[in-house]
Amino acid sequence: MIPWPIALLSVFYGVIATSSASVIWQIAMGETHRALIWQVMWFGLSAGATCGLALLKPWGRRLAIWTSILLMVVMLSIAGLLTLVAREPLLGLVMTLGASLHVLVMRYLGRPSVKAYFAEQIVN
């Protein structure tokens, strides 16, 4: 059985994967003009993290940590741009607080008890 915090993280990464897939579809249909590489990267990372966490695989935990690191860097970059260029300090603060969610995810997935739980699933 999957513990509920890991299940919620799987749902969180699943939402990111679905959002990225939606934008990839819009790009393929010509409805929007964005860089495809970023959307494919987010889709691959978050879909892999979703499947890996749900299957309780150690590579899924590592992939979720890397995805959180990249999402945190992007969110902090957007927060800096909003604060400095767009002169929207409140939105920058909101984005910074959103980035702190990824720090919590990384701390949770790095806990020895969680690491042990994923390592235990290899044996079973």
* pLDDT at position 11 over 60: yes
Q: Per-residue pLDDT tens for 44-76?
A: 999 999 999 998 899 999 999 999 999 999 989
Please say if the pLDDT value at position 124 is more than 80.
no
Distance of CA 86 to the CA centre of its chain: 25
Q: Has residue 117 got a pLDDT over 80?
A: yes
Q: What angle do CA 16, 22, 26 make, to 5 degrees?
A: 145
Nearest-10 crossing angle of helices 4-29, 58-84: 60
Least Cα distance to 9 among 42, 41, 53 occurs for 53
The arithmetic mean of pLDDT across residues 22-30, rounded, is 95
How far is the CA of 30 from the CAs of 24, 25, 26, 38, in angstroms?
A: 10, 9, 6, 16
pTM: 0.83
pLDDT-above-90 percentage for the chain:
60
Q: Going by C-beta distance under 8 Å and a sequence separation of 6 or more, which residues neighbour residue 17?
A: 42, 43, 46, 47, 50
